Amino acid sequence: MAFNSFHFAAFFPIVLILYFSVPRTLRPGLLFIASCYFYMAWRPEYIVLLLGATLVCFYGGLKVAEAEQESAKRRYTTICLLLLLGVLFVFKYFNFANDSVREVVSWTGGSYPIGAIDLILPIGISFYTFQLLSYVIDVQRGATGPERSLGTFALYGSFFPQLVAGPIERANNLMPQLKELPGFDYDRVVSGLRLMLWGFFKKTVVADRLAPFVQDIYSSPGEYEALGLAVGTFFFAFQVYCDFSGYSDIAIGAARTLGVDLMTNFRQPYFATSISEFWKRWHISLSTWLTDYVYTPLTRTRYIKLGWYNKFLLALLLTFLVSGVWHGAAWTYVIWGGLHGTYLVCSMLSQKLRRRIVKNVGLAKAPRFHAALQATFTFLLVCISYIFFRAESVADAFYILTTIVAGTPAMLASITDASYVSSQLNVRAHLPEFVLGVLGILTVITYDAIQRFKPEFGTQILAVPTLRWSTYAATTFAIVVLGAFYENASQFIYFQF
């Protein structure tokens, strides 16, 4: 069930009313049933995979906790890892790996008889797999105790607000809250609904309005010159941000109305002044998961015979390659992850040189201007990586990148030609979406700037009843008229991961 559907518009109020109407002891059961229904509204048969993974990790966690020897703990943890990652591999990565092997064999002149498997990727499988595995690993490390209530653990694995696209929660944060679900709290409900409203705005009014431009440009990049490709990439940067952060806002807001606090998943990432800071502000739940369960173990492993600093850099690169593979079974995602890993490695290696340059050219005396330059350059690097994230093939990605680089001088020379700009952006075919998309981007940038630099200003606006209700009404109007009932709508981008 998608958040941006009439199905959810009916489902969530009913769940909310029933949740606060039944006795507190029945609320976990109600949420579990609602979560199962939420997931089964997509494809009912795939609930078997979710429940199977939940049972494996529940009993696996108990076995890990009961084992007295460390070798036995590692063995049970490994079994859980192999089972869940094996299912993930079959559904998400088998065809990618199989096709890659076939290409290599074909290149050597051999024949390869194994064909593709026709399977539909279970929605949310990457998210709930990581969440469930983190519990088993934490039990093995002694970072959390084993959960002995199957009902509580089943709700932890299936909690519908964050089930299909995160945030990827940890047992230490989510499990205790599910055991002590609170009663009705007016302030929490209002705060949650307000956050959901903003999330719906970002998704339906901004992301879905930018989608037609991005789709036209990236589905036929050869028909566009540097300007169209550059603007398409810029639009995609805000499409994917508003789409995914919008989902996260809706998820966090929905959970908050139910009395559950989920972790923040985005924190104004496009104001980051470095790639390192960007990843502390973008998809935070995945970044911290990869840090704890991939990067940190790699830096501590004894199997990589390198000096500490070189091991640290290699761990960074490998972690982002894993991030790329997690996002999708295609070489474009691998390159995207590798780019971000390379950015970070180059940043570490050039740190002293960059500090010296900043000092010598006098940027240290203008910290705000320096921060603006850093944020602009960071955003540019992120947009370059987005070309590979969005492109339909590696060849398309390199074509887009090289065309933008080679055509930038001509693009700047023609930027004042209105007819040229209109033809490159196909404005006539999508004029309403273009206007709404640009206004939406400006709205999101303004909101994020306030949250980043003047958060008290937003609080002051909401404290004035007239301004508060005017904001609610305008946002709701935009969602209903310009979003929910608009011709062009799409599913959330991260549902495919």
| Higher pLDDT, residue 67 or 493 | 67
Whether 189 has a pLDDT exceeding 90, the answer reads yes
265 confidence band (pLDDT: 50, 70, 90): very high
Select which of 327, 340, 370, 430 is catalytic.
327
Counting every residue written for the chain, the total comes to: 497
3 confidence band (pLDDT: 50, 70, 90): confident
DSSP secondary structure code for residue 271 in this structure: G
Q: How many CB atoms lie within 10 A of CB 466?
A: 7
Q: Where are the domains of the chain?
A: 6-105+117-184, 185-226+236-266+414-497, 279-412
Q: How many CB atoms lie within 10 A of CB 168?
A: 24
Query: Can 7 be counted among the known catalytic residues?
Result: no
Residues of 44-78 as b/e, b for ≥16 C-beta within 10 angstroms? eebbebbeebbebbbebbbbbbebeeeeebeebbe
- Which of 211, 168, 270, 266 shows the shortest CA–CA distance to 4? 211
Given a contact cutoff of 8 angstroms between Cβ atoms, the answer to whether 282 and 266 are in contact is: yes
**pLDDT tens digits, 347-397:** 999 888 988 888 888 888 888 898 999 999 999 999 999 999 999 999 999
Structure tokens at 376: 């602009």
- Across residues 12-40, what is the average pLDDT? 93
Which pLDDT value is given to residue 306? 74
Q: How many CB atoms lie within 10 A of CB 452?
A: 14
459 confidence band (pLDDT: 50, 70, 90): confident
| Region class of 142: left (phi > 0), else alpha (psi between -120 and 50), else beta | left
Flag the least confident range among 113-117, 280-284, 398-402, 490-494. Answer: 490-494
Q: At residue 159, what are phi and psi to the nearest 5 degrees?
A: -50, 115
Distance CA(91)–CA(355), nearest Å, equals 47
In the numeric block, the tokens 């991030």 are attached to 323
User: How much is the pTM?
Assistant: 0.91
DSSP secondary structure code for residue 427 in this structure: T
Secondary structure percentages of the chain, helix, strand, coil, to 5: 80, 0, 20
Whether 484 has a pLDDT exceeding 70, the answer reads no
Which pLDDT value is given to residue 362? 83
Contact partners, residue 4, CB within 8 Å, separation at least 6: 200, 203, 204, 208, 483, 484, 489, 491, 492
Task: Tell me the average pLDDT of the chain.
Answer: 89
**pLDDT tens digits, 308-325:** 778 888 999 999 999 999
Distance CA(401)–CA(389), nearest Å, equals 12
Flag the least confident range among 45-49, 161-165, 381-385. Answer: 161-165
- Which of 298, 72, 256 shows the shortest CA–CA distance to 162? 256
